[in-house]
Amino acid sequence: MLPKIEIRAFGTLQVTRDQEAVTESDWHTRQARQLLKILITERPRPVSTDRLIETLWPASAPNAAATTLRSAINALRNVLEPDRPNRAPSRYIITRTPGYAFYLHEDIWLDVHEFERILDRAAKVPERQLLLEEAVALYQDDYLISDPYADWAQNERDRLRERYFNALLELSELQAAQGHYAAAISACRRILARDEVRENAYQSLMRFQAESGDSASALLTYERCRTILAEELGADPSPLTQMLHQRILNGEIAPAPSAPGALSHALPRPAAPDASAFVLPHSALLPSVNRPFGDIFVGREAESAELSDRLGHLNEGRGELVILAGEAGVGKTRLAYNLLHQAAGEGVTVISGSCQQIERKLPFAPLADAIGRYLHSLPEEALFGLPPASLAQIAQVIPSLQDILPELTPLQNDQLISPDEHRQRLIEGIVAFLDELARLRPLLLFIDDLHWADQDSLAVISRLAQRLQAAPILLLLAYRSDDLPENDALISLIYTLKRIEQTDFVEVARLSRAAVREFVSRFMGGVQIDAAALTDSLYEATQGNPLFVAETLRDLEERYQSCAPEADEDASRRRFSRRQMPALPQNQRVDEIVQERVSRLDENAREILQLCAVIGRDFSLDMLEHAAVADPVNGLEILLRRNFLIERPDERLDFSHQIVRQSVSDRLNALQRRRLHHAIGEALVQTGQADRNPSEAAFHFGLAGVQDQMRFHYYSVMAGEALLKTFGFYQAIEHFTQALGAMDVHPAVNGDRQAEEGLIGRALIGLGLAYESLLDAEGVTTTYRRLHTWAHEQEDIPLMLTAHSRLAATLELMGQQRESNALLRDLMASLLQHGAMPRSVIVTDLLERRRGIYSPYEERASRSWAPLVPPPPVPADPVQDILRLLDPVHAVQLLLSYGWTLRVQGQLGAAAACLERSLALAKETGQRSLASIAYFQLAVIARMRGDVEKSQELNEASIALNRLGDSTGELVSLWPRIASAFQSLHAGRIDEAEGRLRRVVLFLDANEAFRNHRNSANIGLGLVALARGEHDTAREMLQASLADAINLYPYTHVQALIGLADLAAREDRPTDSSRLLRQALRFAGQRSLIEEYVEVVLEIARLQPIHAPVRLLLQKTLEQTQIAGMIQLQRQLRDALEMVDAKVSVK
C-alpha cells in the first residue's frame, strides 16, 4: 500500500500528498514550510513555541509573533491534512508541551527515516550490499540543502552526512572485494565531492586505484590529499596515509583482478545483437616479419613451448600477459610471429601493431593503427554486428571508422568535463572495445617496439592488463631492453606489470653456438660444408645475435651470387661451400654489414631504399610512387627479393628490421636527407595523407629546408589544432610553439606573407586554448597578450576582439579587473582609430560602466548622505549586439563581463539574459571555467530575487564544474568561496568564515598575481577579528587592504569601510564611524552598486549615527530595490524599517 504522504528532506524539501506534489502556492506561507523542516529535524521531540518564534520571527513583538506562529501551524496542518475537520486534532503536527512536534504516522513515508532504517538493518543481515546500495540511493543531496546557513539544521545535516559517508565507504569495500573497482572508486569520489578533507576516503580511493592497476592516479590522489589538508587544515596526511603512499611508490600493492562484470560500471552497454545469432568472423592481423631464409627458426624451443602453453590457457578462456624483452635484433618479433601464426590457425582473433619513433607524440597511435587495420579487414556486415557503443568510443581515435560506418553516431563529448576525464574515457573505451571482442572470440593482441610507445597507449595497456583474469585476452608485448631507459613511463609500467599474477616475463637471449650451427646447417641444405668453421666464424663475428647472423649470411651469399649472377641459389651455395671462407671481423657492427649489402645494390634500388628509410615508418605503394624520382618498380623488386623490405598483408611496405632502416638513414648526408624529406612531404600532399595526418607532413616539411618552411608552418598549426580535438594538449603546444618559432626565424615573403599572418593568428589562438585546457594561467596570459599585440599591429579587428575576450577572461579570473578594463579601453581606442567603433554599442556601454566602477576613489570631507545614482539604461538587445561582433566561442567572456556589470548595478533582467547566453555558449564551446562563473553569477541573481532554492541549485552547478579541474577549479572558486565566507560572517558563523578565507589566503600565498583576491580575503579576516573583539588586528588588516586601492574589489572595499565604521562605534568614536559610513555610501552610490549600497544603509540603520536620515535612506532604497526586483534585499530593508519604526514608537 502506498503511503498517503511522502516527504523528501534529502536535498530541497519535497512533499507529495496522494501521489501529487505539493506546489509553492499550496503552502500559502513560507513559514509553514520552514516549520515543517524544523519539526522534522527535531522529531520526535517537541519544539518550544519560544524557540520557533526566535528562529522564524526574531524581530517581531512577542504577541504578534505568537499569533503568526499559530497561523503558520494551522497552514501547515492544512497542507498535510486538507480534509481535516475544523478544530479536529492533527495526526501529524501535534501540540505537545512546550510547543509542537512532528509525529511520524504510518501514513507518512520520510526519506530520512527510511535511510536510517535501512542502514540499521544492513548491519544485521547478510544482504548488506543490496541494502547499502538502496540507502545511498536515497541520499540525493545533503539534508535540507536549501537552508545551508540554518543553525537548527546543521547538526542533523552533519549527522546524516556522516552516516552516508560511512555507508559509502562500507559499500566501496564490498565492491572492491568483488573486483568492481570502478564502482568502488566512484563511491570514494562521491564522498570527496562533499567533504574534500575526509582522509579515510582518500586512503580507500588510493588503495582501490592501486589495486585496479592505476598506480599513477593513486599517486595523484595522494598529492591532492596532501594539498587539500595543508590548505584547509594546515596539516600533513596521517602516518597511515603516508605509509600507504610509500607502499604504492614501492609497488607493494599488487593489482587485483577485476570482476567479470566490472566493465558495466564504467561503460554503459547498449542493446547488443543476439550473441547466438552473431558470430565474429575469424580475422588475423599478423605483423610483417623478416624471414630471410624461409622458415628457418632455431634456438627458441623453450620460449616457443612457454608461449604455446600461454596460448592454451587463452583457448581455455584465461587471460594472459607475456612480455618479451631483449636487445635490438635478438628475434623478439620473429618469436612473437610464430605464436601469432599458431593462434591464427586455432581460430583466435589476432591483432598486431607496432610503435613508431615518429609517432611518439601522437596519443594512442599504435593502438589506433592496429585496431583500425583490424576493423578495416572485417566484412561490413561483421562491423554492424559489433556493439555500436564500443565502436563509437574508439571512433574518437580512429576517425576513418566514420568512412566505413557513416551511420555510426559518434559520442557527444561533454565539453564541461576535464581533459583528464576525457582521456580516461578514451582509455576505458579502448579497453572496453577489446574486452567486447574477446567475449565474441578469444583475442591475442601484440604490440611491438613498446620502447617507442606514447603514454596514452601505455595507460591502455596498464588498464587492460588488470582485466585479463576476467577476459580471454593474451596480451603480448615486446620492447628493446637497451632502449628502455629512454621511456620512463614504460619503466614504471613494466615494474607494475611484473607484479600481476598472469604476467610471464621472457628475456629473449642471443642464439647459442649450437643454435647458430643448426641455422647454418639448415641454410646450406644438403650441401656438404665445413659447418663448424663457418659457425665459429659467424658466432665470433655476431656473438649469436640473430639479426647479425642473418645479415652476415645475406652479405656472404650476395658476395658469391655477385661473382656468378647467372647461377641459381643452390649452385651459388655449392660454390660458397667450396671456396675458402673469408675471415669475418670480430664483433662486426650490423650497420657495417648492412652497408656492405647496400653497396652491392644498383643505383635505382639504392635510391629507393634511401627514400624508404627517410619515410620513417611503414608506407603505401601510392606514397612510394609519388615520392620516387624514377620508376620504382625494378628497384622495389630487388629490395623485396634481397629482404631489405617486406610487403605486409595490407599491401603496405616496411623494412625487414628497424635497425636496417636506421643504418641506411644514418649514412645519408644532410643534403640527401633534406631532398628526400621534401619529396616525401610532396607525396603526402599529393596522396591526401597530409590533411589526414598533418603531424607527419609537418615533420617532413620541417626537415626539408627553407623552401618548405611555409608548408611546415601550415601543417604544424594544423597538427596542433587536430591534437586539441583529441586532448593532446602538450603535443599541441609543441607544434604551435615550433610553428611560431619557425615563422620568427624564417618569415614568409611576397605572396606568402598574408597566408603566414593567418597562420600566426591561428597558432596563437590554438596555443592559448591549449594552455587554458592545461590550467596554465601564465601561459594563457603571455600568449593572449602576444596575440593582442600582434592583432593590433595587423589592424585585424576580429582578432583584436578575440584576443581581448580570451585575455580579459584570464585577467578577471585572476582578479585583475582594473587591468582588464585598461585592456578594454585600449581596444576601444583601436576600434575608434580603425573606424570600427559604431559596430558595438555594448562595448562602449561596458567600458563606461566599468570605468565608473573601477575609477579611483577620492575621499572628500562631506556631511551629506549620498543617494544611489541610477545606472544608465541598458541598450536594446545586448546579447545580439555582442554576437554580431564576435564568434560564439569568443563572445562568452564579453557576455559574462557585461552580465556581471549589469548585475552589480541592479539591472537583473538584462544581466540574467547575458549570463544565461554566456553559460549556454560556454557549455557548447567547452569553456568550463567561464561556465562555472556564469552559474555563480546567476546564483547571485536568484538569491537577490529571493529564490533561495534556485540560487542553491545554480551554486551547486558552479561547484560541480570547479571540482572537475584542480588548479582552474580552485581559481574559479575563489570568488564564490570569498562571497560565501562573507555570507557566513553576516550569519554569525565566524569559524566557518575564517576557514574559507584562510584557505583562499593559503592558496594564493605564493602567487602575487591575485592581489584582489588576497586583499578581499584579508578584509574578511579583519571582520573575523572584529567579531571576536580583536580590535587592533581588525584595524590593521582592514586599513592595510584599503591602502591597496588599485587591487580591491568594490564589494569588499565597501565591507572594509563598514567594518572600520563598526570598529569606530565600538570604540566610542561616533564622528569617525559616521564619516566612514558616509564614505562607504558615497562609494557605492556613485557607482550604482545597489547591493553594496543596501548593505551600507542597513549598517546605518543598525548603528544609528547622529543626524543620519535613517528612515529616508531605508525608504528610498526600498523603492529602488522594488524597481530592480530584488526580493531578498526588500525583506531586509522592510525588517530594518519595522525596527526603526518600533524604536520610534517606544520613544
- Helices 215-233 and 199-211 cross at an angle (nearest 10°) of 170
Work out whether the CA dihedral 818, 824, 826, 832 comes out positive or negative. negative
Q: Is residue 290 part of a domain?
A: yes
Query: Which amino acid makes up residue 1055?
Result: Q
Residue 503, beta-bridge partner list = 321
**Are 234 and 142 in a shared domain?**
no
> Of 507, 535, 554, which residue sits at a domain end?
507
Q: How far apart are CA 658 and CA 670, in angstroms?
A: 21
Q: Is 914 left (phi over 0), alpha (psi -120 to 50) or beta?
A: alpha
C-alpha cell at 1056: 572594509
Q: Which residues of 1043-1071 are buried (b: 16+ CB within 10 A; e: fewer)?
A: eeeebbbbbbbbbbbbbbbbbbbeeeeee
Residue 254: the pLDDT is: 66
Q: How far apart are CA 1092 and CA 1080, in angstroms?
A: 9
Residue 7, beta-bridge partner list = 15, 110
C-alpha cell at 111: 526519506
Q: How far apart are CA 454 and CA 312, in angstroms?
A: 31
Residue 1031, beta-bridge partner list = none
**Are 517 and 543 in a shared domain?**
yes
Q: How far apart are CA 459 and CA 824, in angstroms?
A: 44
Asked if residue 166 has pLDDT above 90, the reply is yes
**Are 541 and 526 in a shared domain?**
yes
Q: How far apart are CA 330 and CA 336, in angstroms?
A: 12
Q: How confident is the model at residue 706 (pLDDT cuts 50, 70, 90)?
A: confident
Q: What percent of the chain has pLDDT over 70?
A: 83
Q: How confident is the model at residue 274 (pLDDT cuts 50, 70, 90)?
A: very low
- CB count within 10 Å of CB 99 equals 19
Residue 276: the pLDDT is: 44
**Are 133 and 26 in a shared domain?**
yes
Q: How confident is the model at residue 357 (pLDDT cuts 50, 70, 90)?
A: confident
**Are 454 and 559 in a shared domain?**
no
Asked if residue 964 has pLDDT above 80, the reply is no
- CB count within 10 Å of CB 583 equals 9
Asked if residue 1097 has pLDDT above 90, the reply is yes
**Are 500 and 358 in a shared domain?**
yes
Q: Is residue 1022 part of a domain?
A: no
- What is the average per-residue pLDDT within 970-989? 76
Q: Is residue 559 part of a domain?
A: yes
Q: Is residue 617 part of a domain?
A: no
Residue 898: the pLDDT is: 92
- What is the average per-residue pLDDT within 53-75? 83
**Are 331 and 231 in a shared domain?**
no
Q: How confident is the model at residue 651 (pLDDT cuts 50, 70, 90)?
A: confident
Structural element, H or E, at residue 979: helix 974-986
Q: Which residues of 609-640 are buried (b: 16+ CB within 10 A; e: fewer)?
A: bbbbbbbbbbbeeebbebbbeeebeebbebbe
- Sheet hosting strand 652-655, strand order edge to edge: 619-620, 652-655, 645-647
Q: Is residue 83 part of a domain?
A: yes
Q: How far apart are CA 914 and CA 899, in angstroms?
A: 5
Q: Is residue 649 part of a domain?
A: no
CB-based contact 694:719 (threshold 8 Å): yes
**Are 372 and 517 in a shared domain?**
no
Residue 874: the pLDDT is: 94
- Four-point Cα dihedral 520, 524, 530, 533, nearest 10: -30
pLDDT per residue over 789-832, tens digit each?
888 788 777 777 777 767 766 666 666 666 666 666 666 666 56
Q: How confident is the model at residue 259 (pLDDT cuts 50, 70, 90)?
A: very low
Q: Which domain holds residue 312?
A: 281-390+438-507
Regarding predicted confidence, which is higher, 648 or 456?
Answer: 456
**Are 174 and 193 in a shared domain?**
no
C-alpha cell at 934: 556564469
C-alpha cell at 665: 638513414
Residue 1071: the pLDDT is: 92
Asked if residue 984 has pLDDT above 60, the reply is yes
> Of 189, 223, 256, which residue sits at a domain end?
256
User: Out of 105-114, 576-585, 1015-1024, 1132-1141, which region has the weakest mean confidence (pLDDT)?
Assistant: 576-585
**Are 9 and 150 in a shared domain?**
yes
**Are 495 and 588 in a shared domain?**
no
Q: At which residue does the C-alpha cell 562500507 appear?
A: 170
CB-based contact 222:248 (threshold 8 Å): yes
pLDDT per residue over 169-202, tens digit each?
999 999 988 888 878 888 898 888 788 889 999 9
pLDDT per residue over 909-947, tens digit each?
999 999 999 999 988 877 777 888 899 899 889 888 877
Residue 620, beta-bridge partner list = 652
pLDDT per residue over 720-759, tens digit each?
988 887 767 888 899 999 999 988 887 765 556 777 778 8
Q: How confident is the model at residue 12 (pLDDT cuts 50, 70, 90)?
A: confident
Tally of domains within the chain? 4
Collapsing DSSP states into helix, strand and coil, what is residue 324?
strand
Residue 296: the pLDDT is: 80
Asked if residue 272 has pLDDT above 50, the reply is no
- What is the average per-residue pLDDT within 875-883? 90
Q: Is residue 680 part of a domain?
A: no
What pairing do the DSSP bridges indicate for beta strands 14-17 and 20-21? Answer: antiparallel
Asked if residue 416 has pLDDT above 60, the reply is no
Kindly report whether the peptide bond that precedes residue 98 is cis, defined as omega within 30 degrees of 0: yes
User: Out of 209-218, 638-647, 1057-1066, which region has the weakest mean confidence (pLDDT)?
Assistant: 209-218
Asked if residue 587 has pLDDT above 80, the reply is no
Alpha helices in 905-966 (DSSP H): 908-924, 928-944, 948-962
CB-based contact 985:1020 (threshold 8 Å): yes
Work out whether the CA dihedral 372, 373, 374, 376 comes out positive or negative. positive
Who contacts 230 (Cβ-Cβ below 8 Å, separation ≥6)? 236, 1002
**Are 118 and 248 in a shared domain?**
no
Residue 444, beta-bridge partner list = 350, 474
Alpha helices in 1004-1109 (DSSP H): 1011-1027, 1031-1043, 1050-1066, 1070-1086, 1090-1103
Q: What is the pTM of this model?
A: 0.54
Residue 114: the pLDDT is: 93
Q: How far apart are CA 465 and CA 503, in angstroms?
A: 9
Q: What CATH number is given to the structural domain containing 489? A: 3.40.50.300
Q: How far apart are CA 228 and CA 225, in angstroms?
A: 5
Which DSSP category does 10 fall into?
A: B
Asked if residue 271 has pLDDT above 50, the reply is no
Q: What CATH number is given to the structural domain containing 212? A: 1.25.40.10
Q: How confident is the model at residue 526 (pLDDT cuts 50, 70, 90)?
A: low
Q: What CATH number is given to the structural domain containing 52? A: 1.10.10.10
Mean pLDDT for the chain overall: 82
Residue 684: the pLDDT is: 92
Q: Is residue 1145 part of a domain?
A: no
Question: How would DSSP label each residue in 86-154?
Answer: TTPPPSSEEEETTEEEE---TTEEEHHHHHHHHHHHHTTSS-HHHHHHHHHHH--SSBTTT-TT-HHHH
pLDDT per residue over 73-110, tens digit each?
888 988 888 888 877 888 899 998 889 999 998 889 99
- Sheet hosting strand 349-354, strand order edge to edge: 349-354, 443-448, 473-480, 320-326, 503-507
> Of 222, 240, 256, which residue sits at a domain end?
256
Question: How would DSSP label each residue in 245-280?
Answer: HHHHHTT-SPPPPPPTTTHHHHSPPPPPPPTTT--P
Residue 913: the pLDDT is: 95
Residue 536: the pLDDT is: 78
Asked if residue 622 has pLDDT above 80, the reply is yes
In terms of Cα–Cα distance, which of 1145, 1046, 1063, 1050 is closest to 1103? 1063
Asked if residue 689 has pLDDT above 80, the reply is yes
Q: How confident is the model at residue 244 (pLDDT cuts 50, 70, 90)?
A: very high
Q: How far apart are CA 1052 and CA 975, in angstroms?
A: 11
Q: Across the chain, how many H-helices and E-strands are there?
A: 55, 15
pLDDT per residue over 986-1014, tens digit each?
878 888 788 888 878 877 765 566 777 88
Q: How far apart are CA 584 and CA 316, in angstroms?
A: 49
Cα angle 444, 450, 452 (rounded to 5 degrees) comes to 145
Residue 763: the pLDDT is: 93
Query: Which amino acid makes up residue 301?
Result: E
Regarding predicted confidence, which is higher, 889 or 895?
Answer: 895
Environment class of residue 40 by beta-carbon count within 10 Å: exposed (0-12), middle (13-18) or buried (19+)? buried
- What is the average per-residue pLDDT within 958-986? 68
Backbone angles phi, psi at 870, to 5 degrees: -65, 140
Q: At which residue does the C-alpha cell 575609477 appear?
A: 855
